[in-house]
Structure 1
Amino acid sequence: MANLTRWSPFKSLSRFEQNAPFDDIFRGFGLRPQWSELEAPDVRIDVSENDGAYRVKAEMPGVDKNDIDVSINGNQVAISAEIKRESKKKDDERDICTERYYGQVYRSFSLPDEVDSGKASAHYEGGVLTLELPKQKSSSARKLTVS
């Protein structure tokens, strides 16, 4: 399987966030450039296969397993999740810096072979979602007679 690189036009803008002098200009005004809001984090995956199945491991830290949705349609796999923000704060607390992402994440991809969705399974532990996706048995080939 070929290696694919995901490109995002906003990725280069996030470099400005690391530029401390630029950030210091806005610190006294209570304003801060929010370049990171333009881009949701990537759902990074590893895909491996054997003769009978694919195994997909997806990094999804900070996600509750009940908030993860996986759908399979033929050879198309889609993973989506909602990362929720904890809103428990004391009355005298205020945010100084907020960099963690909250919201929806989504990733879809195609596999070379169709997946038997009836036998597929998913397991989530330690921030990693593991999918076991058995390959669909090829339907019996038959020869057609041309009349």
Structure 2
Amino acid sequence: MSLIPRDSWSDFNRLFNNAFPSIRPRFEAEFFSPRVDVVEKENAFEIIADLPGVAKEDVTVTCHNGTLTIEAQTKKEQDKKEGDQMIHRERYHGKMVRSFSLGDNINDKEIFAEFNNGELHVNIPKMEAQSENARTITIN
């Protein structure tokens, strides 16, 4: 199982964090993916995603054709009063997506997820190791 994120925006985004701080908020608003940790355990892989400000009902985890996708949505709160002016904005509002190629040694029917205090834990059980012994094929 590779569990390597399918996007490279995280590295590209880090490049801009310090180099171009004035355009960073606009860049992140268009290309945002949640920060994740991927942990390999004895019997499973675990993906831990930070989803600050996201409600549980606004999180979706899907597995299709060997790809696990985490989608989340935050809503912009309009608590601004008349006459208020936004001076600086860094908080992200909108849709977040992150995808992972799972490989073929996982049990996709047993994947489960838990969400608590803005942190998503996705548990991906491993399958029994397949025999890697070479076998001779009879040619007719």
TM over 0.5: yes
Say if 2:75 and 2:94, in contact at 8 Å, map to a contact too: yes
Whichever residue aligns with residue 12 of structure 1, its letter is F
1:76 counterpart residue number: 67
2:25 counterpart residue number: 36
Higher-Rg member (1/2): 1
Percent of residue pairs identical: 30
Q: CA deviation at 1:132?
A: 0.9
Q: How does 1:1-147 map to 2 (within 5 A)?
A: 6-8=10-12, 11-12=15-16, 15-17=19-21, 34-39=23-28, 40-73=31-64, 75-137=66-128, 145-147=138-140
> Are residues 9 and 119 of structure 1, via their aligned partners in 2, closer, same or farther at CA, if it must alter by over 3 Å?
closer
With the length of structure 2 as denominator, give the TM-score of the two structures.
0.71
Q: Say what the alpha-carbon RMSD is for the aligned residues.
A: 3.4
Q: CA deviation at 1:123?
A: 0.6
Runs of 5+ in structure 2 lacking a partner? none
Separation of aligned partners in 2, 1:48 and 1:94: 43
> Are residues 114 and 84 of structure 1, via their aligned partners in 2, closer, same or farther at CA, if it must alter by over 3 Å?
farther
With the length of structure 1 as denominator, give the TM-score of the two structures.
0.68
Runs of 5+ in structure 1 lacking a partner? 18-32
Give the number of aligned pairs: 132
